Structure 1
Amino acid sequence: MSQHIPEPVDPRRLAEEGKTLSGSLSLASLPRLAALLRDATPQVLFDLHFGRDEYRRFTVDLGVKAPLTLECQRCLGDMQLDVDARTSLALVAGPMETEQLPKELDPLLLGEEEYLDIAALIEDELLLAIPSSPRHADADCSSHYFEEKQDLPAEQEQDNPFAVLAELRDSENHN
């Protein structure tokens, strides 16, 4: 399935031709993403379809699938995040065009050369899929925080430091 990706590509030409590119890339070849991963050996599967929409805008439909191994920010253990994302992009020349796009299209601003770096686009999509603070679900996390919280006696868990203030407020209201 791996396909040689021509770099850089002219997205407008590919859109005029209605081209589709698909293949796989090593996560290790994406330096910004690889720096966040515990294991960069898996592959990301991708497909890009270039075309035009009903308003003749140049569009790129991007799909990515990858297993990302991240560090859980709670227990610091390995955490698996399976990314399966799709997005629709429209090529824009500047902020004015961006504001006119419908909600279902995200803007894709090209550089001065008007060419598209496909690997960078795939990397951007994977980076957007990572939560700002990756964590296991509470039940799956090996953090001792949850075990300690469950072991507390009921009276300790319900101790409210503001209870005294509430009592004072209530007693003042009755006077």
Structure 2
Amino acid sequence: MDRNHALPQVQLSAESNALRRIDFCAPQSYKGAGFLSIPDLPRVAEEVSAVVSGDGFHWDIQTHFEPSPGSEPHQIMELGLKGRLHLTCQRCLQGCAVDLDEKRRFIFMATESQADDYPLEDEDQEPLVASQQFNLLETIEDEILLSIPLIPKHPEGFCEPHASVFGDGEDDDVPTERENPFNILKNMKKN
């Protein structure tokens, strides 16, 4: 008999506090979905330029067990994230809405050493260490932070470069005469 059918499936609460302690060592699978606003995600909140109504992330997870040759079946977690946050555009230094839509797959390992030994070549799934008090909220927040673009910016043609980055923008067509830095030394020699 397939272990997925023999094990009970637990419905996770959508409350952020309920996601802080989940027993992924228990012989059961999990399913859940909900919405996390930016204030529910304190590390993400540090990155945003502004919190706009509706900003946050819809999440959904589902776990199941897959057979593993020569050992107990491994629990697999599929995590989906979809949402929006506002960051500072690095081109114009104004607020910029960033939409994220991510799907991740994780494999639970019994120990830290097993997770460390997991092959890096397997890009389809990342190892996590199962625990009786697993912090799923922290994992969701980690994945959002990893998905944020390094250099957020508006789409091409939407904004102009900010003057403080590329000069003040005045008289750009008029060539300016630079002062010779050695004039100071020349004046000192005369005195």
Same topology, TM > 0.5: yes
1:129 deviation in Å? 0.7
Give 1:29's aligned residue. 40
| C-alpha distance in structure 1 between counterparts of 2:15 and 2:155, whole Å | 38
1:71 deviation in Å? 0.5
1:17 deviation in Å? 2.3
TM-score for both structures, normalised by structure 2: 0.65
Residue 67 of structure 2 aligns to a residue in which SS?
Answer: coil
1:95 deviation in Å? 4.1
Show structure 1 runs of 5+ residues with no match. Answer: 153-175
1:94 deviation in Å? 1.9
Give 1:108's aligned residue. 128
* Percent identity (aligned): 26
1:98 deviation in Å? 3.8
Larger CA deviation: 100-109 vs 128-137: 100-109
Deviations 1:90-127 (Å, cap 9, x if unpaired)?
123224444334331112235xx642112211111110
- The aligned length equals 144
TM-score for both structures, normalised by structure 1: 0.71
Show structure 2 runs of 5+ residues with no match. Answer: 1-12, 174-191
Amino acid at match of 1:18: S
| C-alpha distance in structure 2 between counterparts of 1:115 and 1:3, whole Å | 17
The alignment yields a C-alpha RMSD, in angstroms, of 2.5
| C-alpha distance in structure 2 between counterparts of 1:67 and 1:97, whole Å | 31
Give 1:46's aligned residue. 59
| C-alpha distance in structure 1 between counterparts of 2:63 and 2:35, whole Å | 17
- Higher share in helix: 1
Match of 1:86 among 93, 103, 106: 103
| C-alpha distance in structure 2 between counterparts of 1:82 and 1:94, whole Å | 33
| C-alpha distance in structure 1 between counterparts of 2:46 and 2:153, whole Å | 18
| C-alpha distance in structure 2 between counterparts of 1:100 and 1:25, whole Å | 30
